[in-house]
Structure 1
Amino acid sequence: MTVSGPRPSRRGFVALGAAALLSASVAVPRAVAADRRSAVLTWYDATAEAIAAAGAATQVTNSRTWAIGWLAAARAARDVPRGVDRAAYQEAALVSAVHHALVDLVPARAEQLDATFQQSIDRIPGGEARGLGVAAGRREAAHVLGSRRSDGLDPASVNAPYPVPAPRPGIWQPTPPAYAPATQYGNRLAVPFLLRRPDQFRPGPPPALDSDRYAADLAEVRAYGAVDSKARSPHQTETAAFWLGSSLTLYTEPLRVALSRSPHGIAEQARQVALFHVALVDTQIATSDGKYAYERWRPVTAIRTGTIDPDPGWTPLHTTPAHPDHPSGHNTYSGAAESVLTAFFGPRTAPFELTSPTAPGVTRTYTDWKRLSDENVEARILSGIHTRSADEAGIALGRRVARFALEHAGELFAAR
């Protein structure tokens, strides 16, 4: 196991965005940049805050909220009418689009969003540009909302019932301690933004149960992922805890850091946020397709009931999520996020700090996006909830979906 250690640094900010943290008290910093691109960060933070405080109970639904609002903003800010103040128009278009989408998708935060909208609009010089921008934002938000209204990414559809398969070697079964019904099955039935179909990049199957790779995978999780592991170091335990929570939560701050350092204007930054989340929605759809196509059992089931030195009392460090092993969803998300961040901002960045709600008091410092992926691969093994094969398949799948999204981004912004 090779996980690099955290570097000492002051505590950083992490924008909360996970359903598990909906009841948390969220303090979101406001942008202070003097130029109008500060509107991007103001509404980036407003999006994160609204989702953290009152978003959906399913991560992909919240990713969809990001994608809808920011796709509408990118479209609205793209084409500026002749003869009007370009900056004022684009700012008004972004503010209006994201506000309109969020009020529709997170109605419980309407009062707070309306207040932020008014503050933002008051900072824009009045006149034709502002009025046209506001109208464009509302129009594009309404269009994107309408086009995604029945896409199958609402919480009920995401968690569509999944019949538990008959027990047999290698096949997923509900896992302890709750033995809960499977979740996220409905993702594979949802409508992607850009993928042609959910199984477009389905990864290859997991290792055969009689293969050396499978035996090595299981031995690694057994040794390093047990709740009482003697092999796992304190730093590795910290890594498992750091990356335990929602990927949406943990990647909100890295993208914000990249935006805050970007030289691009409002329209391009809105496009970057939109494409990031479009790629991540499609990645989560592709992930569930792979999981339920292969129905691979989780390490806890394999170790307790399999034929390789079964240990009925083996328990993972962290509770196993209620869906199959292959591919790892945390790692599909990480692979896609890494690919989009690298494409837009380059593979490396100046140091930035990241904290995690599942590792209180820990701050880590990063200078490249790939290290986040590398830690995710290790973390899910160290938690005892994924095999290395599932993690590596996840990274590869996420990168492929993101690459496709970037290559076909023009379809999102084509003139209508």
Structure 2
Amino acid sequence: MSTSYPLPGATRRALLIGAGAGAATLAVPALAGVAAARPSEVDTVLEWYDVTAATIGVISGPLQVNSSRTWAIGWIAAWRAVTRTRREAPAAAALAGAVHETLTTLVSARTADLDAALAVTLGRLGTSPAVRAAVDGGREAARAVLAERANDGLDLASVNRPFPPPAPAPGVWQPTPPGFAAAVQAGQGDGRPFLVDDVRAYLPGPPPGLDTARYARDLAEIRAVGAADSALRTARQTDVARFWAQSSLNGYTGALRAAVAAAPRQADGHGIARRVALVALFHAATIDAQITTYAAKYRYLRWRPVTAVRGGDIAPDPAWTPLITTPAHPEYPSGHTTYAGAAETVLRTLARPPVRPVALTSPVAPGITLTYRDWRELTRDNVDARVWSGIHFRHTDEVGAAVGRRVAAAGLARWDGRPL
């Protein structure tokens, strides 16, 4: 029997822990190897998970936290609405109503598609007074969460506010080649978190000094294995690096779906509520981790490896080029690994380990499929991938993963069964 990882002393948290396998069709290109369900066995949770994923689509880094916010708002609203009923059909209708209302508000260009998806769901669930009331309750919950999150600093303009680069100095971030683009996501660290009160409590200490052995070791490693023309990086390492060049949100959509699919499908509102809460808490916790990451990035303003290798004091190489183009924001800590550490913590705490290998694909690395048997393996690959990409020092990645774990654990501990 597989082991789950409950947090102690929380009766509603226990609703998130379950055993048993599930399977359903994946409507977005994120997870391979799952079977189609018969029409009589349509899983409304996965149905609206896939609707959300398709509506968000493939996004880039500057869009990530805003897109994560859309996920969180919709599924927090769904959790609130679903927990008002113990019957399966009204609970499923409440979920659909909440997510539909959120997505049509925040991604209004997709309203026609979302209306069609809702019609399919309601055509299956029927039009009883209880179902109609549940849809209305879901919509009401979504409007309430949208109002609560108004002016939370996670809109695109606030997140990507202009940031003038600092004066050049050893160790200090500067725009990076080839485009030398202005910094992005400079305002993200000022966003309002979902679960923790203040991200400043979880900021890491400063990165290693330029005169430390750790810095010299990391610099030598990335110079050797992170270069575009590295003779030491293996073909598999290159595949992992290219695979995880996608946004973390897209990268983990299939992994979270696998966890939701594996949760037991109890024929009542509690079974739906448990699985909805997993999605809601995953996105709430990873948003808090992202806010923490960028608060630290723009506090420490650490230079990127390409700047250090090309113009630093240790054997400068002006021609050195990383495998993956360096993102336009400071080095420390790594956003990908902070997200990964938070995601790992939520999945290990609230979901069972994978019941079978989880095969994932990447929209930015066609033809590459990576298979994972434990949630920790995704964090491991994220840590390595950013080094093999030539865009992060290893210490940066390791600290990021630790920060993400710490933020997510604190957020889950604070939840304690209270409404999100």
Same fold (TM over 0.5): yes
Letter in 1 for 2:409: R
Cα shift readout 1:149-180 (whole Å, capped 9, x = no counterpart): 21111111110111211111111000000100
Counterparts of 1:253-402 in structure 2, within 5 Å, are 253-264=254-265, 265-402=271-408
- 1:131 deviates by 2.0
- 1:274 deviates by 0.3
**For 1:172, what is the secondary structure of its paired residue?**
coil
Distance change (3 Å), C-alpha of 1:46 and 1:362:
same
Could you tell me which residue of structure 2 aligns to residue 202 of structure 1?
Answer: 203
CA RMSD of aligned residues (A): 2.2
Distance change (3 Å), C-alpha of 1:75 and 1:235:
same
- 1:125 deviates by 3.2
Counterparts of 1:163-182 in structure 2, within 5 Å, are 163-182=164-183
Could you tell me which residue of structure 1 aligns to residue 117 of structure 2?
Answer: 116
Could you tell me which residue of structure 2 aligns to residue 126 of structure 1?
Answer: 127
Whole-Å Cα distance in 1 between the matches of residues 197 and 58 of structure 2? 33
* Matching of residue 46 in structure 1 with residue 51 in structure 2: yes
Whole-Å Cα distance in 1 between the matches of residues 311 and 58 of structure 2? 41
Counterparts of 1:139-158 in structure 2, within 5 Å, are 139-158=140-159
- 1:280 deviates by 1.0
**For 2:77, what is the secondary structure of its paired residue?**
helix
1:350–1:367 CA contact under 8 A, matched in 2? yes
TM-score by length of 2: 0.88
Whole-Å Cα distance in 2 between the matches of residues 336 and 351 of structure 1? 21
Cα shift readout 1:290-332 (whole Å, capped 9, x = no counterpart): 1111110000001111111111111111100001111000000
Letter in 2 for 1:354: L
2:353–2:374 CA contact under 8 A, matched in 1? yes
Distance change (3 Å), C-alpha of 1:98 and 1:56:
farther
**For 2:370, what is the secondary structure of its paired residue?**
strand
Letter in 1 for 2:70: T
Percentage of pairs with the same residue: 51
2:311–2:318 CA contact under 8 A, matched in 1? yes
User: Which residue of 12, 15, 18 corresponds with 2:28?
Assistant: 15
Letter in 2 for 1:15: V
Any stretches of 5+ residues in structure 2 without a counterpart? 1-24, 266-270
1:37–1:266 CA contact under 8 A, matched in 2? no
- 1:16 deviates by 5.9
Cα shift readout 1:62-102 (whole Å, capped 9, x = no counterpart): 0000000000000001122xxxx711211111010000000
2:62–2:184 CA contact under 8 A, matched in 1? no
1:97–1:140 CA contact under 8 A, matched in 2? yes
Distance change (3 Å), C-alpha of 1:172 and 1:294:
same
**For 1:350, what is the secondary structure of its paired residue?**
coil
**For 2:125, what is the secondary structure of its paired residue?**
coil
- 1:53 deviates by 7.0
Could you tell me which residue of structure 1 aligns to residue 17 of structure 2?
Answer: none
Could you tell me which residue of structure 2 aligns to residue 69 of structure 1?
Answer: 74
Whole-Å Cα distance in 2 between the matches of residues 131 and 61 of structure 1? 30
Whole-Å Cα distance in 1 between the matches of residues 35 and 191 of structure 2? 35
**For 1:179, what is the secondary structure of its paired residue?**
coil
1:31–1:41 CA contact under 8 A, matched in 2? no
Whole-Å Cα distance in 2 between the matches of residues 238 and 156 of structure 1? 34
Letter in 1 for 2:314: I
Distance change (3 Å), C-alpha of 1:237 and 1:54:
closer
Letter in 2 for 1:48: A
User: Which residue of 55, 77, 84 corresponds with 1:79?
Assistant: 84
TM-score by length of 1: 0.89
Distance change (3 Å), C-alpha of 1:359 and 1:139:
same
Distance change (3 Å), C-alpha of 1:78 and 1:161:
same
- 1:56 deviates by 10
Letter in 1 for 2:89: A
1:328–1:390 CA contact under 8 A, matched in 2? yes
**For 2:201, what is the secondary structure of its paired residue?**
coil
Distance change (3 Å), C-alpha of 1:349 and 1:335:
farther
**For 1:58, what is the secondary structure of its paired residue?**
helix
Aligned residues: 389
Could you tell me which residue of structure 2 aligns to residue 21 of structure 1?
Answer: none
